[in-house]
Amino acid sequence: MEESVVEKLKRVGLTEYEAKAYLCLLRNHLNSATKLSKKSGVPRTKIYAVLRSLQQKGWVKIYSGAPLLFRAVDPSKVFDRIKRDYEEFLESIQTMLSEEVTEMKDKFVIKKFDLGLKGLKEEIRKAKTIWISNATTDFLERIKDAFSDGAEIKVILFPGERRIEAENVQFREAEVEIVCIIRGREVPSTSLILDEERVFTVFQDPIDQNYIVDEMLYEDCNKCFLDWYTMSWKATQGG
């Protein structure tokens, strides 16, 4: 029975010697270190260090005198304190994790919702480099009047889509379809990178055919889009 209790006490933070000393004090009320060492089996050379540690952890009280006397704190008081401490610890961890989640949500949130094609075209007109991935013919026809003559424009077409008439646009065709689900239907997932830093995602609503344009404002996410586009451009065939 005692071995089982010792093992359980070890699970709540006591060492084996501390558990044995505490159990012995519970059974014998006040004890000197010498007597406690003999009764508990804790080596005499270690008993004072063990008792001091138990005092610091709140399991034992020390009474002055010659010799010093030691008494076990009531188990109910010890475990009430342990439960309070553990609850406070869990609350602190929960708070920290909640703050981490909030921070990540803030980072990943798309803060400029649905700029619309008009707003996107205004940004395109100011850009010196325009990289478009998974573009459809319809989308390109709607924004081509925003392309400036001096801009570098590279377009990776969604598989099966045709090129538009444009002199300063380089075209390549994607080898795989990248889609998203809008209103239960698969639609091409188009992205634009302006000046190699600003990233926009574009989806066409399959019901009303309007385009939904959002800007990504999380730097690491933008870098992923940039790396993916660079890799895709190198992997696709021009013509």
Secondary structure of 154-180 as H, E, C letters: EEEECCCCCCCCCCCEEEEECCCCCEE
- The model's confidence at residue 113, banded by pLDDT at 50, 70 and 90, is low
- The model's confidence at residue 1, banded by pLDDT at 50, 70 and 90, is very low
Answer yes or no: is pLDDT of 230 > 60.
yes
Instruction: Point out the least confidently predicted range of 18-22, 215-219, 231-235.
Output: 215-219
List the structure tokens of 45. Answer: 């050379």
List the structure tokens of 17. Answer: 């010697």
The answer to whether 169 touches 155, Cβ cutoff 8 Å, is yes
- The model's confidence at residue 47, banded by pLDDT at 50, 70 and 90, is very high
List the structure tokens of 63. Answer: 């009474």
Task: Share the mean pLDDT of the chain.
Answer: 87
Q: How far apart are the first and last CA of the chain?
A: 82
The answer to whether 15 touches 59, Cβ cutoff 8 Å, is no
Quote the CA–CA distance of 84 and 41 in Å, as a whole number: 32
Structure confidence at residue 116 (pLDDT): 83
Structure confidence at residue 4 (pLDDT): 82
Quote the CA–CA distance of 106 and 93 in Å, as a whole number: 20
Domains and their CATH numbers in the chain: 2-74 (1.10.10.10), 116-238 (3.30.870.10)
Quote the CA–CA distance of 21 and 119 in Å, as a whole number: 75
Answer yes or no: is pLDDT of 110 > 70.
no
Which burial class, exposed, middle or buried, applies to 228 when counting CB atoms under 10 A from its CB (0-12, 13-18, 19+)? middle
User: Which residues does 65 contact at the CB level (< 8 Å), separation at least 6?
Assistant: none
Summarised one tens digit per residue, pLDDT across range 60-97 is 998 887 888 999 999 999 899 989 988 888 888 888 88
Answer yes or no: is pLDDT of 226 > 80.
yes
- The model's confidence at residue 182, banded by pLDDT at 50, 70 and 90, is confident
pTM of the model: 0.55
Tell me the average pLDDT across 189-211.
Answer: 92
